Amino acid sequence: MKVVVNEADYGQAVEKQLREYKRKANVPGFRPGMVPMGIVKKMYGKGVLAEQSYHIASNSVFEYLQKENIDYVGDVIPSEEQGAFDFDNGTEFEFIFEIGEAPKIDVKLTAKDKVTYSKIKIDKKMHTDFRTNYLRRYGRLVDADKVTKDEALNVTLDNGDMRIEEAYVGLISMTDEERKPFKNKKVGFKTKVNINELYKKPEQRAAVLSVKPEELEGINPEFELEITKIRRFADPELNEEFFKMAFPAGNVTNEEEFEKFIDEEIERELKRETDFMFVNTVRNFLIEKAQLAMPEEFLKRWLYVINEGKFTREEIEKDFPAFVKMFTWNYLQKHFITEGELKVTAEEAKAEAMSFAQMQFAQYGMPSAPADMLENFAKQIMDNKEQLQKIYEKLYEQKVVDYVSSKVKVTEKAISADEFAKLAGELA
């Protein structure tokens, strides 16, 4: 697309910009604001002319695209065919621009279109592990006769120079291989250990030995270890006292309801993963169905230009398949947002921020954070433009997925965790 601009187009804008430079110019020998315009033009005129003429030319392209209702992808960029400009002597300049014309979307969704919602099947191990971890919140440490798996050990460490009483060794944080030397051992068991292997992190070793991390060097890591106490978590009894303590709302009052609660909690936690994969499933389905012919060569050039040399053309080429997939998905989302007249309200954005805040607190051991703390954290999120933008993008994406799901046939399928992981990798 070619655009010609002359002095009548850019003259006033150039003069205005030069007057602004004159007002601010700091030139030795002249008071601020008193620099002669001739000097200002000599110093800045060429650059201002180039800037303003390009600005006017590119704006006219955008106005034309809008007027003619031409849809495009990416942005308007200077053409590789663009010749040199003589801003010293010329008054009329021809700019050549490139645009990536957007492909037409013609996607008709019906009940004949099928999409699968893959759901992770809860197996016995998953139930048992979650149940064990949940009960540990209300369990207690009790003395044990010997090490069986993941007990907590109190030990004495002695290397001749240092003797540490009541040092703690948590088997739960170890691998099965690392636990082997302690398996089936009783109080009084002695063995040689390397403290660097026993406590992986320097800060752990420093805390156990009561020294500063920088003082660890020079300490003999070979210690004799003696087990002085073995303790393991004992599950609480599933009696009336436990149910009242763990479920004050009274929603779980017996063992049968408790087992059902465990499965529901697992499903709730897994739902985030399954919902996320369903988004990817819908994304891939729509990209495949739409078969959009994106202007790929233009997009590669556009990526190179807008990143101002941060990436080489080879790097862009390497990562381009993933980019064009993401770009196509975003383009399709805009289409369905318009088609379905989808909106995200400020209330929905706030609710999402509150949900995110709650999840953050839960990760740090506060599953029931006070309402005012959640409100304050959510407000911080909403006040951050970048985070707020991500929230709106997420919600709009979910609206598109829900809209598409209402038009097609969605079949739920239960699969194993391993099958789910494999499928998730394929869809990424």
Residues 6+ apart with CB under 8 A from 378: 350, 353, 354, 356, 357
CA 343 to chain CA centroid, Å, is: 23
Longest Cα–Cα distance in the chain: 97
**Per-residue pLDDT, 386:** 93
- Say whether domain 2-100 belongs to CATH 3.30.70.1050: yes
Amino acid present at 197: E
Alpha-carbon distance of 114 to 285, in angstroms, equals 9
CB atoms within 10 A of CB 169: 19
| 19/40 Cα distance (integer angstroms) | 9
Query: What's the CA gap between 106 and 290, in Å, rounded?
Result: 7
Q: What is the C-alpha separation between 275 and 118, in angstroms, rounded?
A: 9
Give the position of tokens 């004495």.
156
Cβ distance 325 to 287 under 8 Å?
yes
Is residue 51 within a helix (H) or strand (E), and if so which, with residue range? helix 37-67
Minimal CA–CA distance to 155: which of 168, 138, 140? 168
Per-residue pLDDT at 159: 95
**How much helix, strand and coil, in percent to the nearest 5, is found in the chain?**
55, 15, 30
CATH class of 140-234: alpha beta
Residue 153 Cα distances to 58, 149, 156, 157, 380, angstroms: 72, 11, 10, 12, 43
Residues near 25 by beta carbon (within 8 Å), at least 6 away in sequence: 32, 33, 35, 39, 40, 43
Nearest CA to 344 among 275, 288, 391?
Answer: 391
pLDDT in tens, the chain (428 residues): 899 999 999 999 999 999 988 888 888 888 878 888 888 888 889 999 999 999 999 999 999 998 998 888 888 898 988 888 999 889 999 999 999 989 999 999 999 999 999 999 999 999 999 998 889 888 888 999 999 988 999 999 999 999 999 999 988 888 888 899 999 999 999 999 999 999 988 998 998 898 998 889 889 999 999 999 999 988 899 999 999 998 988 999 999 999 999 999 899 889 989 999 999 999 999 999 999 999 999 999 999 988 887 888 899 999 999 999 999 999 999 999 999 999 999 999 999 999 888 888 776 656 667 788 888 888 899 999 999 999 999 999 999 999 999 999 999 999 999 999 999 888 87
- DSSP reduced 3-state for 139: coil
pLDDT score, position 404? 97
DSSP of 108-124, one letter per residue?
Answer: ---TTSEEEEEEEPP-H
Domain 114-124+255-427 CATH (choose: 1.25.40, 1.10.3120, 1.10.1060, 3.40.50):
1.10.3120
CB atoms closer than 10 angstroms to residue 404:
23
In the prediction, which pLDDT does 288 show?
A: 95
* Nearest-angstrom CA–CA distance, 389 and 352: 12
Answer yes or no: pTM beyond 0.85: no
- What residue spans define the domains of the chain? 2-100, 114-124+255-427, 140-234
**Residue 194: C-alpha distances to residues 147, 176, 182, 207, 227 (Å):** 20, 18, 14, 16, 15
